Every structure is written in C-alpha cells, then in structure tokens.
Structure 1
C-alpha cells in the first residue's frame, strides 16, 4: 500500500495555518481590490476538491489504498480554500465568498475511467503548481505572496503522490495504464491548440448539466480564469512550456521512453493502439 508512506511524507511537510502564515506582516497598501478578487475566485475554485473527492471515492470503490489517500488530498486541498478565505476574512471581508457561492460548484461528475481521471489530475497538479508560483510573483502584498508559495508547494507534492499511483498502475497492467496516461497526456500537453487553459476545473464533466457543467462555469464570473492567466499573472508561453515539459519528462520516466515533444508522445500513443 502507498497510503501509509504518503501519509508520513505529507504529514512531515504539512504547514500550520496559524503559525506558518505570517499574518502580522500584512500590508494593506499593497493589496488592490483587483488582487483581492482573484483571491476570492481561487478560494472558490479550490473548494471544488469536495465534488472531485466524491467522484474519486465513487469511481475507485475497488481501490481502498487510493481511496484512503483521498483523505489526505481532500484535507489539504480544502485547507487551501480555507487559508485563502481566512486571508479575506481578516483583511478584505467584503470579498470573502459566500456559502452559496461555494456550494454552487458542488455537483455530481459523470463516471469516468479511473486511470484517465488519475492522469488528468496529475497534470492538473503540475499546472496548479506553476499557476500559483506565478500568482505569488504577481502579488505585491507579502502575506498572500507567502500563501500562494505555500500552496504551490503542496500542489507539487500532490503531483508526486499521484505519480506514485500511476507507477503502481503500470506495474499492475502496463498496457491499459500506458494507453490511459498517453491519451490524457497528449490532451493536457496540447495547450497550444486549445482556446482555453487545460485544467480539471474547466473541463466538462456532466452531460445532463451541459454547458453549465464545469467548475469555471459556476464561478461568480465564468470569464475570470482566462483574464487571471492572460492579463494578471501573465501565464505566458514560457510558463506553459514548463507545464508541458513536466508532463513529458514524467511520462518519459514512467514509460522508460524519451519524449521531447507532444508529437513524440502522440506517436507513442498511436504505436500502443496499433
């Protein structure tokens, strides 16, 4: 089982909301309304770990090890939402999300193949790591800079945990796992072809609720994410290249191959299918 090992490693790295966030260093002159609004939107988006966990537990009923790991992932992701809300509660309470705004993003996702979902969320963690690093650089207020840096490190650790479960899947059934990981890897690394940022929060997950079936579509401002990425934290081509590079490097290591480009990965995917 991986859960005991992951529990120990993530417990050792866990930060304390009261002691490890420098609340006393807050400088109100360095926080604009524009910046505070982005904190609100990120707090709501992080709350989507709730429906995602419900999905994971439903679709992985035959995997108690991974389901137990969800207890760690869910706790830490909800803690991200909590620390962002606590920041607003202390310093800009008028921007704090309402319970109704949080509950709006809790809805049931359609069942999906567990391995493809695993790969999707692995890529999502890689992307969030880079998004939050850029957010920390963009902000000027010292406390929120520290918060974004802190949760970015959590997301990187979560990506590493998902990777361990991907390695386990390869050991159990290499053919099925490789096909699933390649399929989603090509999708998530093909950002240049997409008109929107590729992340679990903006992918459609419920046919019955389409088109209002993404986390992003249920935010107070559904257009916020693209504006945050393009105009505020400026997640440009170089930043995106780091995400794509991370996906390709990890799959290269996982498969014992060498993928320089998405095209390399896609050729490997087609070879597996053949």
Structure 2
C-alpha cells in the first residue's frame, strides 16, 4: 500500500462527491470478505489445502477494503466507514455445498475483474484510478487460483464437480434473465434474516450497487457479454468442451444433473 499506490499524485479537483461516495460503498462491500472466509473455513474443514489458501485470499481481499478506506482517510475523512457500518456486513452465511460455493466465487471474481476495470475508467482522479486497476488485477488473479482448485475438484469428484460447476455457471451467466447482476454480495444467504440477508441489503445505501452499475460506471450489455464470455471460456477449458452460449452450457448441465441424480 505504501509503494504501489501513488498517493502524492492525488488531485482534489478531479474527485467528485458522487465518486467519493461510491468508494465508501465499495470499501464496505469488500469488508464482507470476512464472513465469506468464515463460511469457507466452516464448510471446507475436510480440505486443509483449500483452507490454507483462504488465509491468503482473505489477506488480499481485506487489503481491498483497507486501501479504499485509507484513500478516504487521507482525502475524504468524513466518508470513512464507521465500525458499525463495517460490522453490519459481517453476518453468518448458511452452509452450502462446497463445490457450488467454489464456482459461485470463481464467477464473482470474473465479474469483479470487469466491474473494477470499468470503475477505473469512470473515475477521473489519478490515485483512485490506479487503486481500482490494482483491484481489478487482483480479482483476475484470484479467479485463476479458484480455477486451479476447480481443476483439482474435477480430478477428485468427477461428475459431481461437473454438475455443480455447470449448474452455478448457468445461474451466474444468466444475469440478463434474472434482471440483476448476479454476484455473491447480492445473493440471499441466510433465510432467517431474509430479506436483509445479502451484503448489498446491509449497506448504508442498499440501492447503491444498481445505481453504480447502471448510471455511474455504466456496466452495459457489452461489458456483461465479457463476463459471460469469460465464464463460458473458462468452463470450456475446464471441461474440454466448447460452450459458445449459455444454452450449450445448460445442455451440458442437464446431462450431468441427471447422471448424478441417478
């Protein structure tokens, strides 16, 4: 944080109030790596290797929140998230099948890579542009790490892994059908807390994410197509199949869903 971020290049004339508020929301959202890590460690007690990787993933993800908070502390101290605002996104995620959760977070990293790339383009202040560029590259690298564990799962679990990964792949690539961008932070994860059981719902402004995507960084059809293409491309390599469309992947999903059910 002291050497990779060009703090001295900050230009206050290039940071708008609107932009500063989005930095606060992203800082709080990134803090949810804490409950996500607690979930992963709880649900993967059988897998010490993956659990050890979680310590690295958590460290790097938490730096995302910390660097955004540091930016605000230096340049907009009035917007630094409070302890209560950060703690609000730490709540229990219900147990879920580990293979499906792994695929869910792989897709989340693919999506965040593109979101933060657009955020870097949208911002005009040079220091925060550089920070979002770093975040985007981090998320892409994390996606690559998750993919390695998915390859290992295919070797160990075979058709069960194929069924789980293709099922979540179809879900996460179908955001246009669901009417909202699908990401771990806006999915329901605790029925006892419903409807306040998404990370997004526990932000100071629960409507922020859609506004950030639709009218600020403008994550449109072309950008969404890159996310879908990334999911399909990686699953094509993983399964040694060619998935050009979501329909192709759904056909594959049905094949292995029926196989594992029988």
2:137 corresponds, among 153, 173, 180, to 153
Aligned partner of 2:78 in structure 1 is 94
Cα distance in structure 2, aligned partners of 1:36 and 1:20:
21
Pairwise CA distance, 1:109:
0.5
So what's the TM-score if we normalise by structure 1?
0.94
Aligned partner of 1:253 in structure 2 is 237
2:188 corresponds, among 190, 198, 204, to 204
Cα distance in structure 1, aligned partners of 2:131 and 2:159:
40
Tell me the alpha carbon deviations over residues 170-229 of structure 1, each in whole angstroms, 9 at most, x when there is no partner: 001110000000000000000110121100000000011010000000000000000000
Pairwise CA distance, 1:240:
0.4
> Match of 1:80, SS?
helix
Please say if 1:80 is aligned against 2:64. yes
2:122 corresponds, among 126, 138, 142, to 138
So what's the TM-score if we normalise by structure 2?
0.98
Aligned partner of 1:62 in structure 2 is 46
Gaps of 5+ in 1: 1-16
Aligned partner of 2:22 in structure 1 is 38
Please say if 1:116 is aligned against 2:110. no
- Name the count of aligned residue pairs: 258
Q: How does 1:139-218 map to 2 (within 5 A)?
A: 139-218=123-202
Gaps of 5+ in 2: none
1:48 corresponds, among 29, 32, 35, to 32
Pairwise CA distance, 1:247:
0.3
Tell me the alpha carbon deviations over residues 28-79 of structure 1, each in whole angstroms, 9 at most, x when there is no partner: 0000110000000000000000000000000000000000000100000000
Cα distance in structure 2, aligned partners of 1:19 and 1:255:
40
Aligned partner of 1:8 in structure 2 is none
Aligned partner of 1:125 in structure 2 is 109
Deviation >2 Å, runs of 4+:
none
Cα distance in structure 1, aligned partners of 2:176 and 2:114:
17
Cα distance in structure 1, aligned partners of 2:46 and 2:167:
23
Aligned partner of 2:203 in structure 1 is 219
> Match of 1:83, SS?
helix
Cα distance in structure 2, aligned partners of 1:153 and 1:198:
20
CA RMSD of aligned residues (A): 0.5
> Match of 1:266, SS?
helix
> Match of 1:198, SS?
coil
Aligned partner of 1:230 in structure 2 is 214
Pairwise CA distance, 1:273:
2.5
